[in-house]
Amino acid sequence: MRAIVTGGAGFIGSHVTEELLRRGAAVAVVDDFSAGKEANLAALKGPLEVLRQSITDLDGLHRAFRGAEFLFHLAARTSVPRSVADPVETNCVNIDGTVNVLVAARDAKVRRIVYAASSSAYGETPTLPKTEAMRPDPISPYGVTKYVGELYCQVFGRCYGLENASIRYFNVFGPRQDPSSPYSGVLSQFITALLEGRQPVVFGDGEQSRDFTYVSNVVDATLRAAETPGVSGLVFNGGTGGRFTLNHTLALLAKISGKPANPKYDPPRAGDIRDSQADISLTRQMLGYVPTVDFEEGLRRTWDWYKSEQR
């Protein structure tokens, strides 16, 4: 099997790449290294090709995708606040880039594309947990772009017969998540703050909640979306079904690390959702997905990884 992973040098993409290699696939990573890192791929073993290539360049994608059977599309400008600060850039990469990926996948006769969608598509829809049947109502430019990507995948299925499935990732965390940007995921920020003896910063009152999902769970859901027959055109939640506040998360981290969390509270961020939680019944039923690493275990593994990186 030859698989392409766009964004394969990034946090989640490198874990998808690692698992594909472990299962015997030949993998080509397509990444412009704007957020991806060589270091994320350094320890991976197997037939891996790394192509420095932006998804905003259609000709380059046509060359890169030749001979590909499966395509995992994870390349994106992530981050809600970055999209609020620069909606044009987020739109250009996440929507124009995704259309390029779909055109090149169609022309390369890829068997199926799996798209990394986002829980941000739900916005502030009042009901929890979120089911895929709810009408999306994003409240940030980032959420709009990730939702439009799903629609484009489905439309490429209808218009050109390109098989597709989308997994809406719910606040994924784990080893290799880059903590260094102000736009980095909250758990990478909290953990490195504690390790470096800094105060973690909480935007808002800390009572907002997320379905924090350890990365191996979404990797499993993503590969199932590629290999399960009869799911083309569908969208699945990739979460755990749980929900934890930031305050509770800091208490857990204090317990794991043995260090007091002592957070600093700043004003809330624009575009932020209050609560997020996945209903994973459909993913369970149609893909046979069961999350195997729970939040606390995931936090422990993640803490251990950042600690080992510090040395």
The residue (of 62 and 248) whose beta carbon lies closer to ligand UD2 is 248
What character string, x for contact with ligand UD2 (CB under 6 A) and - otherwise, covers 234-253? ------------x-------
189 lines the binding site for ligand UD2 (CB under 6 A): yes
Q: Are 21 and 47 in contact (CB under 8 A)?
A: yes
When asked if residue 216 is in the footprint of ligand UD2 (CB under 6 A), the reply is no
Identity of residue 121: A
Shortest distance in whole angstroms from residue 122 CB to ligand UD2:
7
Site string for ligand UD2, 64-103 (x = CB under 6 A): --------------xxx-----------------------
Distance CA 189, CA 169 (A): 19
Contact 189, 201 (CB under 8 A): yes
Active site residue 142: yes
Quote the CA–CA distance of 171 and 187 in Å, as a whole number.
9
Q: Does 169 bind ligand UD2 (CB under 6 A)?
A: yes
Find tokens 């990926």 and name the residue: 101
Name the minimum Å distance from CB 110 to ligand UD2. Answer: 24
Residues 116, 74: Cα–Cα separation, whole Å: 5
Contact 168, 238 (CB under 8 A): yes
Q: Which is nearer to ligand UD2, 195 or 201 (CB)?
A: 201
The nearer residue to ligand UD2, 17 or 171, going by C-beta atoms, is 171
- Residue 12's closest CA among 172, 207, 166, 236? 172
Alpha helices by DSSP H, 108-227: 141-160, 186-195, 215-227
Q: Which stretch binds ligand UD2 (CB under 6 A): 45-53, 103-111, 203-211, 229-237?
A: 203-211
Q: Judged by CB under 6 A, does residue 119 bind ligand UD2?
A: yes
Looking at the Cβ atoms of 181 and 292, the one nearer to ligand UD2 is 181
Binding string, 260-289, against ligand UD2, x = CB under 6 A? ---------x--xx--x-------------
* Crossing angle (nearest 10°) for helices 141-160 and 97-107: 20
Q: What is the dihedral of CA 178, 183, 187, 191, to 10 degrees?
A: 60
What residue is closest to ligand UD2 based on CB? 120
Chain centre to alpha carbon of residue 123: 17
Tokens encoding 301: 């593994």
The Cα–Cα gap between 185 and 37 comes to 16
Question: Looking at 115, 142, 169, 306, which residue is catalytic?
Answer: 142
Q: How far is the CB of 48 from ligand UD2 (least distance, A)?
A: 25
Q: How far is the CB of 226 from ligand UD2 (least distance, A)?
A: 20
Nearer to ligand UD2, 49 or 196 (CB): 196
The smaller minimum CB distance to ligand UD2, of residues 60 and 129, is found at 129
Q: Contact with ligand UD2 (CB under 6 A): which of 202, 223, 235, 299? A: 202
- Could you tell me which residues come within 8 angstroms of residue 224 by beta carbon, excluding any fewer than 6 positions away? 287, 288, 289
Number of residues that bind ligand UD2 (CB under 6 A): 22
**Residue 265 Ramachandran class (φ > 0 left, ψ -120 to 50 alpha, else beta):** beta
Chain residues in the site for ligand UD2 (CB under 6 A): 78-80, 118-120, 169-171, 185-186, 189, 201-203, 208, 210, 246, 269, 272-273, 276
Q: Which residues are catalytic?
A: 142
